[in-house]
Amino acid sequence: MTLFNRLSFLGTFLILGTLAGCGGGGGGSSATVPSGGSVASSEPTWTAGNYLTPDHFAARCAVPRTGLDPQTGKPYPDLKGSVTWENHWIRAWVHAYYLWYNELPDLNPASYATTAAYFKADKTSAITASGTAKDKFHFTYPTDQWASFVTSGATVDYGAHWVFVATRPPRQLIVGYTDPNSPASGVGLYRGASVLMIDGVDLVNANDQASVDKLNAALSPTKVGESHTFTVVDVGASSSRTVTMAAANVTSVPVQNAQVISTANGPVGYLTFNDHIASAESQLATAIQNFADAHVTDLVLDLRYNGGGLLDIASELAYMIAGPTQTNAGYFEKLSFNDKYPTRDPITGQTITPTPFYSTALGYSLTTGNPLPTLGLSRIVVIVGGTTCSASESVINGLRGIGVNVVLVGAQTCGKPYGFYPEDNCGTTYFSIEFKGVNAQGFGDYTDGFVPSNTLNTNGGVPVNGCAVADDYTHALGDVNEAELAVALGWLSTGAAACPTPSAVTLSATLHEAPRMRKPLWLMNRILSNRR
């Protein structure tokens, strides 16, 4: 994953060239299908408009895996095949399950030398009202890497979460937050520090591709121990300093800064929630229980850097906020698949039923069946921004669906009411949008996100009561003087009167130009598992 590539970053930023540094249709395409461990006797052939089901091509691999799958303890199913076999599987699988399968190009699998190139091309090219891609997320991970991510939340990184305020020269790269006990925190690199140079390359003004490639390599380390040097200016410092960080297996701490803030109207809970990963289940429950013990009267939930993750965690969090009385009135989210599957989930085979507000732990990091603590709040202030995406937006939409008064402070969310089940083939796990989610009121049309109601330019977003406020990198997250938290607390006291006058400069940028935090792609989505 790169920062300043030639075309795009995470499908959301348009960058200036080198200067910016088992269903599916029927049909009759033919295939010689090996069996019993044999080798495919010939390549499958492509006939435009004809589709076989994905199982005709599954596990016919250019490089078959051997041994036991650590996830199942069983031998890998892989047989000898080729890239063309794997591309045929992609074509069949995407056509069978993709939400917008009728907008797909029908591409000859044999015309692509790699699975990565074929999969990248095999999606809709439609755009939204704001001019952004309708499908902003269509990606893959090595399967062993994906398994590690979802179970531990660990990535090879520095533990510094970068915010890209400007990706074109003069660029601006700032630390949004830092994970504790990480290489970044070990060198005192914290929120608000601005990066000037990396490995001697001028990050702000570099305008040749060799320099851009060097920046990308340093910002996205690929192996533990990989070391790079950063010249930074800390918040309030009058001069720069240089730090060297070696990448490590950094485990994300998804819930941070949980605290009770005393106000004239009563105790208010605040927490920063950054990732919907397995460990968040126990961390959220602990924070909510502490808030319940403190008898908080309101909650400020900071999702400004939460790109998404496991939808189950979002449902649990929404239940803990609203409590049993309100959540009994409706469901958290109902999934809608493509029109081939009007009544059943094509992946699980089960009849489509709404996802409830989960009242007990699902076993991600708490014992399965443990009752979850609740606050029983009828209103909540949520701090949001351009990286508030997918599962995080589901929290907002799900609570609004049962009548909870959700107030937004910050900037427009990313806009992704869609999600998927990950699917492995030949050691690559594929992510292709398979469903749309709607709340208990049947609403799920926010492809350009939610936006605080007084924002000057909504860019197609759905206005929600609240205040447009620019991110404040000069204060720590959880500091009551940090601009967005200060306005959130003000809203709880005086309502809309707490909103500052929106700034045309900082708040009406298009979605293409709004600041974004770099997140792993799987954490910028809503993902379902078979745990439920």
The sheet that has 405-410: what strands, in order across it?
A: 255-263, 266-273, 298-302, 379-384, 405-410, 466-468
Q: What domains are there in the chain, each with its CATH number?
A: 154-251 (2.30.42.10), 255-335+351-420+436-509 (3.90.226.10)
pLDDT reported for residue 151:
63
Distances (CA, A) of 163 to 138, 193, 395: 22, 10, 23
pLDDT tens digit sequence for 145-159: 887 776 665 678 999
Residue 521: pLDDT over 60? no
Strands 418-420 and 298-302: unpaired
pLDDT above 90 covers a percentage of the chain that reads: 73
**Contact in structure between 159 and 200 (CB atoms under 8 Å):** no
Query: What is the distance between the alpha carbons of residues 215 and 197, in angstroms, rounded to a whole number?
Result: 9
| Confidence band of 503 (pLDDT split at 50, 70, 90) | low
Residue 175: pLDDT over 60? yes
* Full-model pTM: 0.82
Residue 28: pLDDT over 50? no
Peptide bond into 463 cis (omega under 30): no
pLDDT reported for residue 76:
96
pLDDT reported for residue 144:
87
Residue 430: pLDDT over 50? yes
Exposed, middle or buried: residue 39 (CB in 10 Å: 0-12, 13-18, 19+)?
exposed
For residues 253 and 26, the model is more confident at 253
Residue 169: pLDDT over 50? yes
Query: What is the distance between the alpha carbons of residues 155 and 121, in angstroms, rounded to a whole number?
Result: 27
Kindly state the average pLDDT of the residues 374-392. Answer: 95
| Confidence band of 515 (pLDDT split at 50, 70, 90) | low
Distances (CA, A) of 92 to 107, 110, 430, 494: 11, 14, 13, 56
Q: What is the DSSP string of 111-148?
A: G-SSHHHHHHHSS---B-TTSSBS----EEEEHHHHHH
pLDDT reported for residue 9:
24
User: By C-alpha distance, which of 195, 124, 183, 113 is closest to 155?
Assistant: 183
Tell me, rounded to whole angstroms, the distance of Cα 451 from its chain centroid: 18
Q: What is the DSSP string of 287-345?
A: HHHHHHHTT-SEEEEE-TT---EEHHHHHHHHHHHHHHHHHTTS-SBEEE--TT-SSB-
Residue 17: pLDDT over 60? no
Residue 507: pLDDT over 50? no
Lowest-pLDDT range of 14-18, 125-129, 166-170, 486-490: 14-18
pLDDT above 70 covers a percentage of the chain that reads: 86
| Confidence band of 91 (pLDDT split at 50, 70, 90) | very high
